[in-house]
Chains A and B, each alone.
Chain A
């Protein structure tokens, strides 16, 4: 029971989506399933938020190492949730003043926008920016021309790094027209449109075949590993 019903849900959902691409009659079924999927995806956000709260509450109750940081996580989580769900500081939309919650959370000057501007933006973007430092350190320590393959990788990286900045123009811009194809900026385009395209295209074709094979195995009920263990 615990495995058969989910398996059939997956089969029906999957075939409905597949057929909706080819059979006009199945189009509305595909539309309905997609609509339900979108709502379930939004509920998944709620599940994600709930899981996070649960995990940190458990950590807090067990007094695990670093439980103090769980208080910060939970506190910021609850405050953001409170401000966002109740639309704190949001006045109604001037077009619909009679509806108390018609205003958008995104209104400039709102508490929600404050969180976006002064918390989400600096925190997430600096987290991403941090990688610039680590990639520099990794390049210094790990990028060694040990064999032909590594040399190819290195040379390509050089061409792209120099060719996609003004350095390429300075270094090779003086090449005569008949050798313009060897200018770094042109070489970097050539690398991207020929070698990179060939490599990535082959990877894409491989992935597409893999996705199709795995998808069909799921839809025909051959692959049930995603259901996990338990009795059938």
Chain B
């Protein structure tokens, strides 16, 4: 056994032992509770009788209720069911703090409204495993990290694809090209598309198919057309916006008075505030000019220009220092959030939200 493998084994064993001990102290750890709500929906008359009822039945068959994933631990069934010809019902499960479960159990030990959710509890432990698997990279690259990394890639790509499909393609493209289908299956409130919109969506579909051509082994050049569309539209959008907001507006914002008079509530001039405000404006204007001088390479950086460019570099260094400070701040906040998850949601070591009444 290599030294690294031994270290891993020891770390793992200590960790598991600590978790077992933690699980035996106090209220335990890492459990998720859910509260049941019964939902009954009356189908429109047309759906209850005749042709459209197919879609109602389909909704039952194709879409087993979300609650079906939550039935374990709760005796009553959570799947969608047709209670009569014109109504369907299902159960929804909302996550509640463990405190609510404890209170409900105290009031009535036989209650089933609030129960332990196995799928979510397993999910929580899995989330903790993923968090630790990624942190394990800090020790050394290892299979746990690689598994987590592979999952991020696979899940994220599919997630984005699905969101793009349901949120944009269905209401916009399919809603314009096949409104009947979208209306009956997905969005009954769909507004009938205008002719111009339908034409533009035909273009979008053609461009989209050409873009997907890239996946085929031959004819890759076909995808250059949609690429051209993307490049052209982006260029057209960016030229105007950048000139307007990042060139003109920024130049205007830099044209500041170099001598500022700050008055207080009584109308009298505050000398110190005026002094600092004037210094700030002078430093700001000087800084922008000097930094721009540094970026200007058509003139050799010698003499006055060289001096200004050097001051420009100093300003840029201060800018990068500030960016570094802010970046550190951001990353630490993200780390704090993950550690909070481990200590609070998983290990139940702390209870800042009073979810468990500790």
Contacts and interface: CB of A to CB of B under 8 A. Distances in A.
Would A and B touch once assembled, by the CB under 8 A criterion?
yes
Interface in B224-271: 224-233, 235-240, 242-243, 246-247, 250-251, 253-254
Contacts of A226: 227, 231
B169 A39 contact: yes
A173 interface: no
A5 B248 CA distance: 34
Interface string A73-97: 1111111110011111111101011
A215 B235 contact: yes
Contacts of B142: none
B280 interface: yes
A17 B237 contact: yes
Contacts of A11: 232
A91 B90 contact: yes
B327 A135 contact: yes
B280 A194 contact: yes
Nearest to B296: A206
A206 B295 contact: yes
Contacts of A148: 314
B203 interface: yes
Given A35-B172, A156-B318, A100 B215 contact: no
A21 B240 contact: yes
A98 B44 CA distance: 7
Interface in A180-232: 181, 188, 190-209, 211-212, 214-216, 218-219, 226-228, 230
Nearest to A186: B276
B16 interface: no
Chain B: interface secondary structure? helix
Interface in A60-78: 66, 69-70, 72-78
Contacts of B211: 40, 43-44, 47
B221 A2 contact: yes
Contacts of A39: 168-169, 172-173, 201, 204-205, 208
> Which of A54, A89, A108, A161 is the most central at the interface, judged by chain B CB atoms within 10 Å of its CB?
A89
Interface residues of A, number: 146
B13 interface: no
Nearest to B281: A194
Contacts of B152: 123-124, 127
B185 A100 contact: yes
B220 to A, nearest CB: 10
Interface residues of B, number: 150
Given A98-B43, A108-B93, A195 B235 contact: no
A112 B35 CA distance: 19
A50 to B, nearest CB: 5
Interface stretch (B4-12, B103-111, B118-126): B118-126
B288 A198 contact: yes
A25 interface: no
Interface in B286-342: 286-288, 291-292, 294-295, 312-329, 331-332, 334-335, 337-338, 341
Chain A: interface secondary structure? helix
B312 A80 contact: no
Given A39-B169, A194-B283, A135 B157 contact: no
A202 B338 CA distance: 37
A94 B226 CA distance: 39
Contacts of A197: 284, 287
B164 interface: yes
Given A85-B165, A90-B63, A100-B58, A9 B232 contact: yes
16 contacts: A10-B232, A14-B236, A34-B233, A36-B200, A38-B168, A43-B164, A48-B160, A49-B158, A49-B160, A72-B151, A123-B130, A126-B134, A149-B313, A156-B320, A159-B325, A202-B312
Given A42-B169, A80-B159, 15 more contacts: A3-B224, A39-B201, A40-B211, A46-B161, A72-B150, A76-B150, A91-B64, A94-B39, A109-B67, A127-B134, A149-B317, A194-B284, A194-B287, A198-B288, A227-B224
Interface of A: 2-3, 5-7, 9-18, 21, 32-54, 66, 69-70, 72-81, 84-92, 94, 96-103, 105, 107-111, 113-133, 135, 139, 148-150, 152-157, 159-161, 164, 178, 181, 188, 190-209, 211-212, 214-216, 218-219, 226-228, 230
9 nearest CB pairs, A to B: A198-B287, A156-B321, A160-B325, A199-B319, A17-B236, A84-B162, A202-B291, A10-B232, A118-B123
Interface of B: 34, 39, 41-44, 46-47, 52, 55-56, 58-59, 62-70, 80, 88, 90, 92-95, 119-120, 123-124, 126-128, 130-131, 134-135, 137-138, 146-169, 172-173, 183-189, 196-197, 200-201, 203-205, 207-208, 211-212, 214-215, 221, 224-233, 235-240, 242-243, 246-247, 250-251, 253-254, 272, 276, 280, 283-284, 286-288, 291-292, 294-295, 312-329, 331-332, 334-335, 337-338, 341
